[in-house]
Amino acid sequence: MTTEVKNLKGNAATRSKVQQQVVNSLQKRHRQEKLFRGAGVAAVSISILLVVLLFVNIFSKGLPAFWQHAIKLDIYFDPAVVKIAEKPVQQAGESDNEFRQRDLEWRSAVGMINFNRLIVDGLQKVIPDANEHRRDLQRIVTSGERFAIRDLVIKDPSIIGSTQSLFLLTDANIDVWLKGNIDRSLGDAQQQLSPKVREWVESLKAQGVIQNRFSFALFMNPDSRSSLASAGLAGAFMGSLYMMLVVIVLAIPMGVAAAIYLEEFAPKNKLTDLVEVNINNLAAVPSIVFGLLGASIFIGWFNLPMSAPVVGGLVLTLMTLPTVIIATRSTLKAIPPSIRQAALGLGASKSQAVFHHVLPLAIPGILTGSIIGVAQALGESAPLLLIGMKSFVASIPSSAMEQSTALPVQIYLWQGNELRNFFEARTSAAIIVLLALMLSLNSLAIWLRKRYEVRW
Contacts (CB under 8 A) with another protein, residues 21-60: 29-30, 32-33, 35-37, 39-44, 46-48, 50-51, 54, 57-58
Give Cβ neighbours of residue 382 (< 8 Å, ≥ 6 apart).
286, 287, 288, 291
Amino acid at 329: R
Please report how close the Cβ of residue 408 comes to another protein at its closest, in angstroms: 5
For residue 298, the 8-state DSSP code is: I
Strands 210-214 and 67-76: antiparallel
Residues of this chain, 190-249, that bind another protein according to CB under 8 A: none
Residues of this chain, 281-300, that bind another protein according to CB under 8 A: 281-282, 284-293, 295-297, 300
For residue 222, the 8-state DSSP code is: -
Please report how close the Cβ of residue 36 comes to another protein at its closest, in angstroms: 4
Please report how close the Cβ of residue 251 comes to another protein at its closest, in angstroms: 10
Q: What is the three-class DSSP state of 137? A: helix
Among candidate residues 380, 272, 387, the one with its CA nearest the CA of residue 329: 272
Please report how close the Cβ of residue 205 comes to another protein at its closest, in angstroms: 27
- Which phi and psi angles does 212 have, rounded to 5°? -90, 105
State which residue, 81 or 297, has the beta carbon closest to another protein.
Answer: 297
Sheet containing 210-214: order of strands: 163-169, 67-76, 210-214
State which residue, 34 or 155, has the beta carbon closest to another protein.
Answer: 34
Please report how close the Cβ of residue 438 comes to another protein at its closest, in angstroms: 6
Residues of this chain, 339-358, that bind another protein according to CB under 8 A: 349, 351
Q: Which residues pair with 210 in a beta bridge?
A: 71
Among candidate residues 392, 224, 388, the one with its CA nearest the CA of residue 308: 388
Question: Cβ distance 426 to 61 under 8 Å?
Answer: no
Please report how close the Cβ of residue 240 comes to another protein at its closest, in angstroms: 12
Give the number of other Cβ atoms within 10 Å of residue 430's Cβ.
27
Please report how close the Cβ of residue 403 comes to another protein at its closest, in angstroms: 15
R_g (Cα) of the chain, nearest Å: 32
Number of residues that bind another protein (CB under 8 A): 85
**Binds another protein (CB under 8 A): choice among 375, 396, 400, 433:** 375
Segment lying near another protein (by CB under 8 A), choices 173-181, 192-200, 227-235, 384-392: 384-392
Amino acid at 100: R
- Residue 29 to residue 23: CA distance in whole angstroms: 10
Give the HSE-up count for residue 417: Cα atoms under 13 Å, Cβ half-sphere: 25
State which residue, 44 or 63, has the beta carbon closest to another protein.
Answer: 44
Q: Which residues pair with 73 in a beta bridge?
A: 166
**Binds another protein (CB under 8 A): choice among 257, 346, 363, 436:** 257
State which residue, 214 or 265, has the beta carbon closest to another protein.
Answer: 265
Residues of this chain, 403-432, that bind another protein according to CB under 8 A: 408, 411-412, 415, 424, 427-428, 431
State which residue, 193 or 433, has the beta carbon closest to another protein.
Answer: 433
State which residue, 232 or 388, has the beta carbon closest to another protein.
Answer: 388
Q: Does 362 bind another protein (CB under 8 A)?
A: no
State which residue, 62 or 235, has the beta carbon closest to another protein.
Answer: 62
State which residue, 274 or 454, has the beta carbon closest to another protein.
Answer: 274
Residues of this chain, 64-103, that bind another protein according to CB under 8 A: none
Please report how close the Cβ of residue 288 comes to another protein at its closest, in angstroms: 5
- Which phi and psi angles does 140 have, rounded to 5°? -85, -50
Segment lying near another protein (by CB under 8 A), choices 9-17, 97-105, 438-446, 448-456: 438-446
For residue 357, the 8-state DSSP code is: I
Q: Note the helical H segments in 156-293.
A: 172-179, 195-207, 217-220, 234-260, 270-284, 287-293
**Binds another protein (CB under 8 A): choice among 385, 394, 419, 448:** 385
Please report how close the Cβ of residue 241 comes to another protein at its closest, in angstroms: 16
Q: What is the three-class DSSP state of 75? A: strand
User: C-alpha distances in angstroms, 368 versus 281, 328, 446?
Assistant: 22, 9, 7
Helix, strand, coil shares of the chain, percent, nearest 5, are 70, 5, 25
Question: Cβ distance 441 to 382 under 8 Å?
Answer: no
Please report how close the Cβ of residue 351 comes to another protein at its closest, in angstroms: 5
Please report how close the Cβ of residue 265 comes to another protein at its closest, in angstroms: 6
- Which phi and psi angles does 165 have, rounded to 5°? -95, 115
Segment lying near another protein (by CB under 8 A), choices 160-168, 202-210, 211-219, 257-265: 257-265
State which residue, 220 or 436, has the beta carbon closest to another protein.
Answer: 436
State which residue, 76 or 261, has the beta carbon closest to another protein.
Answer: 261
Please report how close the Cβ of residue 326 comes to another protein at its closest, in angstroms: 11
Residues of this chain, 313-332, that bind another protein according to CB under 8 A: 318, 321-322, 325
